[in-house]
Amino acid sequence: MGRTCLLVVSATATLGVYGLYKIAGIVYREWSSPLRVLPGTKNPSFIYGDLKELWEEEDKGTSGILVEKYGTTFRYKSLFGISRLYTTDTKALNHILMNSYDYEKLPESRVALTNILGAGLLVVEGDKHKQQRRIMNPAFGPAQIRELTDIFVRKSIQLRDLWAEECTKQGGQGRIEILSWLSWTTLDVIGLAGFNYEFNALMRDSKANELSEAFNIIFQAGTSVNVMLILRAFIPALSWILPEAGDAEAKKASLTMSRIGEELLSNSKAAVSQNESLEKDTWKTRDLLSLLVRANVATDLTESQQMLDEDVLAQIPTFIVAGHETTSNATTWALFALSSQNPDAQTKLRNELLTVSTDNPTMDELNALPYLDAVVRETLRLHAPVSMTSRIAMKDDVLPLAVPFTDSKGVIHHEIRIRKGEPLLIPILALNRDKSIWGEDAHEFRPERWESTPDAASSIPGVWGHMLTFLGGPHSCIGYRFALVEMKALLFTLIRSFEFELAVPASDIGKKAGIVHRPILLSNPEGGSQMPLLVKAYQPPLEEP
């Protein structure tokens, strides 16, 4: 007993000393932080610092207010008063994004996602990222997306017909919760276009599909990553102390995902090798996975440059995670904006879309519609589904600034020193809504602004559209062309067929910040993510006799 007591006391003492050592390290790092020269916020809370205000900005969709208050580059307080950098300076962000191997994604989120998804493109860094990106880039090129367009259109038409039935059932005008429907549609699309798999998510009566069920268990009904998995990635010891009740179920789901993934991969391989012997015209395998399998065996790659089967497999859940809720939320926000923020734009868009004589447009026909393009751009600027992301500096570095700042001694600084290990925010939405770039009406939904893009926007280091919505640099969204054409196909089909109105007062629509920004009803936040619209078939006006 005496011995056990001694052991407990010495273990507690060791832990105590270790704790003090760690705290002293944090205090010293803060005291010696090069960020101390930056103008700083007032630190409203010792525990939360400015985090509550930052999250509130995200939730209320008022991104950019802190920038208006403190300028382009400032120091905010994170938990327990630790200083962090906040910058919308385009030169600094360009430096971070273009040198993406010196500014990696946070290890905590990478570990959590790797545990769930495997080492797919969303989580790998360094040489492995370069290798995967090189092999996968061609599968996301314009020619490939052109081939996939009829899947986008087919699924949009299926959704249109289902909404028409709903309207009829409800006596003409239907109250439809569009977010769920769009989410089922984009899941079906990514299944077919991503790996030739039919989720049948839009067929609500059919038995839940095995893969989507497994996926829902792991991702809690597709809304957010399992918090416990993230916590255990942060603190691996938790797996020992707190075996989670749903663990067995999650493991089973994970095994189901792996088994189906392996089947899909072997089907893809078989189809690719069969097609290799056919004429190019009869080439049938156009889904992303098959293109990836094909690129992975390309003759200019040595065996060591090729991706391992397990890495190819990891791309299946990666496509689902990255490409499904992002696009459904973006399309939901587009319909919200056209219903309540600018209903005239809805009419103008419909008039343009009705000039097309087919219900089955090609990618080129969709891309030739200027107002549709402007509506998609304006939606992705004002309602970027991923509102911010983060990085961590892998080495000491210096960030150049386009807009210098003045410290408390009146010294002007044209750059900021960054220490290895410094976490950094990339405020996507704040930059997309920055009044100094977009003008005083930056918070308004005005597709016409795309008739002449402001000069200042050209300095934004985004891969597409003078905005950060798909980020920029080597880690930018590989699926942006896919998302754009899918959104266009959906809007084309739905706006031609229906008239949309918000089913609740606009002031009741809020945003729930998360990895993806989702709409909620402020009057009923417990009701979860939703966007109820009143939908009725569009009736063209009668022609004058």
In the complex, minimum distance from the CB of residue 321 to ligand HEM, in angstroms, rounded to a whole number = 8
Tokens read off for 157: 């038409």
DSSP of 44-64: --TTTTTHHHHHHHHHHT-TT
Q: How far is the CB of 383 from ligand HEM (least distance, A)?
A: 10
Q: Identity (one letter) of the amino acid at 437?
A: I
Mark the segment that binds ligand HEM (CB under 6 A) among 12-20, 351-359, 441-449, 468-476.
468-476
Coil, strand, or helix at residue 245? Answer: coil
Q: How many Å apart are CA 8 and CA 12, to the nearest integer?
A: 6
Pairing of strands 423-426, 389-393: antiparallel
**Min dist. Cβ of residue 194 to ligand HEM (A):** 6
Q: Which of 139, 201, 228, 471 binds ligand HEM (CB under 6 A)?
A: 471
Q: DSSP characters for 143-191?
A: HHHHHHHHHHHHHHHHHHHHHHHHHHHTTSSEEEEHHHHHHHHHHHHII
Q: Which residue's CB is nearer to ligand HEM, number 154 or number 417? A: 154
Region 279-338 residues binding ligand HEM, contact defined as CB under 6 A: 318-319, 322-323, 326-327, 330
Q: Which of residues 107-126 bind ligand HEM (CB under 6 A)?
A: 121-122
Q: Which is nearer to ligand HEM, 38 or 338 (CB)?
A: 338
Question: In whole angstroms, what is the distance from residue 477 CA to residue 96 CA?
Answer: 16
Interface residue with ligand HEM among 72, 87, 196, 469 (CB under 6 A) is: 469
Nearest partner of 334 among 364, 362, 366, 371, judged by Cα: 371
Tell me the residue nearest to ligand HEM as measured from the CB: 479
Q: How many residues bind ligand HEM (CB under 6 A)?
A: 23
477 binds ligand HEM (CB under 6 A): yes
Which residue number, 378 or 499, has a Cβ lying nearer to ligand HEM?
Answer: 378
438 binds ligand HEM (CB under 6 A): no
Q: Does residue 386 interact with ligand HEM by CB under 6 A?
A: yes
CA atoms of 320 and 253, how far apart (whole Å): 15
According to CB under 6 A, which one of 483, 485, 489, 495 is a site residue for ligand HEM?
A: 483
User: Which of 478, 495, 502, 535 is close enough to bind ligand HEM by CB under 6 A?
Assistant: 478
d(CA 468, CA 68): 19
Q: How far is residue 5 from each of residues 2, 11, 221, measured CA to CA in Å?
A: 5, 10, 47
Q: Which is nearer to ligand HEM, 223 or 239 (CB)?
A: 223
* Shortest distance in whole angstroms from residue 462 CB to ligand HEM: 9
The yes or no reply on residue 271 touching ligand HEM (CB under 6 A) is no
Q: What angle do CA 317, 469, 385 make, to 5 degrees?
A: 60
Q: Does 389 bind ligand HEM (CB under 6 A)?
A: yes
CA separation for the pair 203, 222 (Å, rounded): 17
477 is in an annotated binding site: yes
Q: Which residues bind ligand HEM (CB under 6 A)?
A: 105, 121-122, 133, 318-319, 322-323, 326-327, 330, 385-386, 389, 469-471, 475, 477-479, 482-483
Which residues fall in the annotated binding site for heme? 477
